[in-house]
């Protein structure tokens, strides 16, 4: 490997810049030429590619978003689209690619690898923590902390007015943001896509608490929970428990932004460094992850296909601690 390119793709996440900085500086340290591709696969297609030096990544470790920008690119789903995009790497003799993104971005990278033989390394850049083969994804910790901070604030006002807030956090297919932020804010219950939502249980628990005058302020719902998100949950509670002053708060894109936490900067730096080491060691088609504080290299196919099982223990703990 002599010349590598890097891109950020799919939903952005805080810490992508820190990862980018690590990849670029490590690549340069080992004598590689490093190219940045703007707007993910769109920039590869449109030849929006530039050579990076050490200063291209100065003063970005603390910044949210991604200086390379991110985009979704329809054309890349077709073989002709990918051939057109690859031609722009080929003409620069780029012989290695690092993709920071989520499952869709990894699928695109795998196809590029299969069709043109270019080695690809994935870095898990997603707030959802929905990839297999790593204990952390870049951006998850920041997103959870943002959600916790927001829910704490909602709780203050909920408490002042004796209201019940149904708070929706991000996670269309994965409930980790809901689970972690819900536990950390002492939520009454947490509704996630991975567990079936039994509304009868939720209603029973709320009425039991109402009877003994225990105030309940917060229910955390992942946007992709089986019930259809916070508005749907609130509708049922309002109908069945009209006594409760029930409100909805959808946190939304605030969870994607902001300066990455120390933890996200550390894992981004570590993973970025190891992405280059992996390429130089001849690895390809793997996602760099961290499991039990050790680096791990999971085939991209497995990283996107296998699902982490959410430990049901957590949901039991939530219930007990909210009693």
Nearer to ligand ATP, 185 or 229 (CB): 229
| Lookup: tokens for 47 | 């030849």
In the complex, the smallest distance separating the C-beta of residue 232 from ligand ATP, rounded to whole angstroms, is: 22
* Region from 5-13, 142-150, 157-165, 293-301 binding ligand ATP, contact rule CB under 6 A: 5-13
β-bridge partners, 35 = 5, 51
Residue 94 · residue 3 · CB < 8 Å? yes
Cα–Cα dist 315/323, whole Å: 13
Q: Which stretch binds ligand ATP (CB under 6 A): 72-80, 146-154, 251-259, 292-300?
A: 72-80
Nearest to 136 by CA among 21, 296, 24, 18: 296
Q: From the list 2, 50, 77, 321, which residue makes contact with ligand ATP (rule: CB under 6 A)?
A: 77
CB nearer ligand ATP, residue 170 or residue 248: 170
The distance from CA 128 to its chain's CA centroid, rounded to whole angstroms, is 3
Tokens for 313, please give them: 């223990």
Is 156 marked as binding a ligand? no
Q: Which residues contact 265 (CB under 8 A, 6 or more apart)?
A: 15, 18, 61, 62
User: Residue 300 in contact with residue 110, Cβ under 8 Å?
Assistant: yes
- What's the rounded Cα separation, in Å, for the pair 264 and 275? 16
Q: Which is nearer to ligand ATP, 108 or 218 (CB)?
A: 108
Q: Which of 72, 92 has the CB closer to ligand ATP? A: 72
User: Is 185 flagged in the annotation as binding?
Assistant: no
Tokens of 211: 């009877």
Which of 57, 73, 170, 178 forms a contact with ligand ATP (CB under 6 A)? Answer: 73
Q: Binding segment for ligand ATP among 3-11, 83-91, 208-216, 222-230 (CB under 6 A)?
A: 3-11
Among the options 53, 93, 128, 311, which is catalytic?
Answer: 128
Query: Does residue 72 bind ligand ATP (CB under 6 A)?
Result: yes
Closer residue to ligand ATP (CB): 42 or 197:
42
Which residue is closest to ligand ATP by CB?
A: 104
Q: Are 45 and 71 in contact (CB under 8 A)?
A: no
Cβ 171 to ligand ATP shortest distance, Å: 11
Residue 11: CB minimum distance to ligand ATP, A: 3
The answer on whether 105 is annotated among ligand-binding residues is yes
DSSP string over 152-190: HHHHHHHHHTTEEEEEEES-SS--HHHHHHHHHTT-SEE
128 a catalytic residue: yes
Q: Of these, 17, 66, 126, 284, which contacts ligand ATP (CB under 6 A)? A: 126
- Which pair of tokens denotes residue 38? 């703007």
Q: Work out whether strand 96-101 and strand 3-8 pair parallel, antiparallel, or are unpaired.
A: parallel
Q: Whose CA is closest to 318, among 131, 181, 141? A: 181
User: Footprint of ligand ATP on residues 82-111 (CB under 6 A)?
Assistant: 101-105, 107-108, 111
| Residues flagged as binding site for ADP | 21-25, 155, 186-188, 212, 214-216
Which residues are catalytic, by number? 128
Site residues (CB under 6 A) for ligand ATP?
Answer: 9-11, 40-41, 72-73, 76-77, 101-105, 107-108, 111, 126
């Amino acid at each position: 490997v002599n010349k590598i390119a890097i891109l950020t793709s799919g939903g952005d996440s805080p810490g992508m810049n820190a990862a980018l900085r690590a990849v670029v500086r490590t690549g340069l340290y080992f004598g590689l030429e490093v190219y940045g591709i703007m707007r993910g696969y769109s920039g590869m297609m449109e030849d929006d590619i530039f050579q990076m030096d050490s200063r291209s990544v100065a003063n970005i470790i603390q910044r949210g978003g991604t200086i390379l920008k991110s985009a979704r690119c329809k054309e890349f789903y077709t073989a002709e689209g990918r051939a057109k995009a690859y031609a722009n790497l080929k003409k620069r003799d780029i012989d290695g690619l690092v993709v920071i993104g989520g499952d869709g971005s990894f699928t695109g990278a795998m196809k590029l690898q299969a069709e043109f033989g270019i080695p690809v390394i994935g870095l898990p850049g997603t707030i959802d923590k929905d990839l297999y083969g790593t204990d952390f994804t870049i951006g998850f910790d920041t997103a959870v902390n943002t959600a916790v901070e927001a829910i704490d604030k909602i709780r203050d006002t909920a408490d002042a007015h004796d209201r019940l807030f149904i708070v929706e956090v991000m996670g269309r297919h994965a409930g980790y943001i809901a689970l972690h932020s819900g536990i950390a804010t002492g939520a009454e219950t947490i509704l996630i896509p991975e567990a079936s939502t039994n509304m009868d249980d939720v209603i029973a628990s709320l009425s039991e608490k109402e009877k003994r005058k225990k105030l309940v302020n917060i229910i955390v719902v992942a946007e992709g929970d089986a019930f259809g998100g916070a508005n749907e949950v609130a509708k049922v509670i309002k109908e069945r428990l009209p006594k409760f002053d029930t409100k909805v708060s959808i946190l939304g894109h605030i969870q994607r932004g902001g300066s990455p936490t120390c933890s996200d900067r550390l894992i981004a730096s570590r993973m970025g460094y190891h992405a280059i080491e992996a390429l130089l060691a001849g690895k390809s088609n793997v996602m760099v992850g961290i499991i039990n504080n050790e680096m791990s290299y999971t085939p991209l196919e497995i990283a996107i296909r296998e699902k982490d099982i959410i430990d049901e223990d957590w949901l039991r703990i939530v219930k007990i601690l909210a009693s």
